[in-house]
Amino acid sequence: MSSLKKITQKRLFLPIFSMILVMLINVIYDMACGNAPLTFFTVTIKNGVLYGRLIDIFNRGTEAAILAIGMTLVVSSSAGTDISVGSVMSLYGGMCCMLLAGYGNTNVSNYAVPLIIGIGAGLLTACVCGLFNGFLVAYMNIQPMVATLILWSAGRAIGLLLCNSQIVYVRVPSFQKIGGYVGFIPTPILIAAACILVASLVLKFTALGTYIQSVGINKKASRIAGFNSAKIILLCYVICGLCAGLAGMVATSRIYSADTNNIGLNMELDAILAVALGGNSLGGGKFNLAGSLIGAYTIQAIDTTLLALGVSTAQSPVFKAIVVILIVVIQSEPAKDFFKKLGKKKEMAKGAAQA
């Protein structure tokens, strides 16, 4: 009993529990369909590349996972969310493809400028967006939701403008590779892994985590203790912008085109949900990056599962919402109290039975 209690009190328990729940549904579904029970986990090599539902989840979940990194920091430091990340992804696409194709061209098979310049300029643009958001929040004291609302609506429009209101295709193999495969591994998985690795190393070997949490918990006290709260918040928004750029890079290369109307559409919601699912308080303060990442992949798992279950893409948001509500309710304080009481009652009943 006590060891079970210990496990349930771990911070990562619920996000992991949710993830396992989603996996279980898959297993049951497969069994019901007469497939091998572990179809979900089977990874095979088809046409020379990795193939399987699990691989698909990790591949498709890349954007949400990268966004979740930045979003976690923003939520922690400023007790608010950056709702512009989806638009910034799209803006990355517009900027990068416009440069690579040359302004006005819509379909090219050769770069107008070297690839690295296109990507660099796109990421830089994303960082500038973060800088803009961060400036408004940290120095102008504007509510994060309102401050980022500006780029939420303008970012996509600017991207469209850059592309002369057209979809710009960049049909160059080296560009497509970013959203494709390296050897037999999907490149996005590698990119996500790299981002996660860098983030963990930074949090492990610098004091960034302490700075951010301290500022997020008590801004005034942090200032007295020597932190520059505004700078920290600004930094978080820039990192969030960069993450949006990187997510945009993956999303754009997947479709090797700047479809500015659709790249990153509604991704901000997934990113925010990932943070919440990870057991992080949207009120800021303490954060748990691992939780957010598990949250991001869980959301993708829900998407993939629904697809496998044959739920039509038009209806899947409804199911997703239900699942998300369930998971969030399980993690809420009243529910936790309820489970605790339930546990106690059982223990008491057991005690009575023994006596």
Partner 1 sequence: MEAGVVLKMQGICMTFPGVKALDHACLTLKKGEIRALMGENGAGKSTLIKCLTGVNKFEAGEIYLEGFNGPIVNKDTMDAQNKGIATVYQEVNLCPNLSVAENLYIGREPLTKIGTVNRKAMNRQAEELMKELELDIDVTRNLEDYSLALQQMIAIARAVDMDSKVLILDEPTSSLDDREVEKLFTMMRRLKAKGVGIIFVTHFLEQVYAVCDGITVLRNGQLVGEYNIEELPRVKLVAAMMGKDFDDLASIKQEGSGDKRKEPLVIEAKGLGHAGTIRPFDLDIHKGEVIGLTGLLGSGRSELARVIYGADRAQTGTLKVKGKEVKIKNPIDAMNLGMGLLPDDRKAEGIIGDLSVRENIILALQAKAGILKRIPMAKQIEIADKYIEMLQIKTASRETLIKQLSGGNQQKVILARWLATDPEFLILDEPTRGIDIGTKTEIQKLVLKLAAEGKSLIFISSEIEEMLRTCNRMAVLRDGAKVGEIEEADMNQMSVMKAIAGGDSNE
Residue with tokens 């979740």: 68
205 binding partner 1? (CB under 8 A): yes
Among 107, 164, 174, 210, binds partner 1 (CB under 8 A): 210
Integer Cα distance of 346 and 264 in angstroms: 47
How far, rounded to the nearest angstrom, does the alpha carbon of residue 120 sit from its chain's CA centroid?
A: 21
Binding status of residue 228 toward partner 1 by CB under 8 A: yes
- 3-class DSSP state for residue 104? coil
Which one of 225, 314, 352, 353 is in contact with partner 1 (CB under 8 A)? Answer: 225
Q: Which structure tokens are listed for 29?
A: 């579904």
The answer to the question of residue 218 lying near partner 1 (CB under 8 A) is yes
Tokens (6 digits) for 290: 């691992």
Q: Does 2 bind partner 1 (CB under 8 A)?
A: no
Determine the Cα–Cα distance for residues 190 and 185; give it in Å rounded to an integer: 8
CA angle 135, 139, 141 (to 5 degrees): 105
51 beta partners: 44
Exposed, middle or buried by CB within 10 Å (0-12, 13-18, 19+), for 129? buried
Interaction between residue 253 and partner 1 (CB under 8 A): no
CB of 26 to partner 1, least distance (A): 36
Cα 148 from Cα 140, distance rounded (Å): 13
Q: Please report the DSSP string for 144-158 in residue order.
A: HHHHHHHHHHHHHHH
User: Least Å distance between CB 8 and partner 1?
Assistant: 15
Stretch binding partner 1 (CB under 8 A), from 81-89, 122-130, 140-148, 206-214: 206-214
3-state secondary structure of 57: helix
Minimum distance between the CB of residue 118 and partner 1, rounded to whole angstroms? 31
Among 28, 31, 207, 329, binds partner 1 (CB under 8 A): 207
> Smallest distance from the beta carbon of 197 to partner 1, in angstroms?
17
Stretch that binds partner 1, among 21-29, 49-57, 182-190, 207-215 (CB under 8 A): 207-215
Q: Which of 4, 220, 333, 352 touches partner 1 by CB under 8 A?
A: 220
In the complex with partner 1, the residue whose CB is nearer, 9 or 165, is 9
Minimum separation from the CB atom of position 202 to partner 1 (A)? 10
Nearer to partner 1, 48 or 226 (CB): 226
What are φ and ψ of residue 185, in 5° steps?
Answer: -100, 135
Residues near partner 1, by CB under 8 A: 205-208, 210-211, 213-214, 217-218, 220-228, 285-286
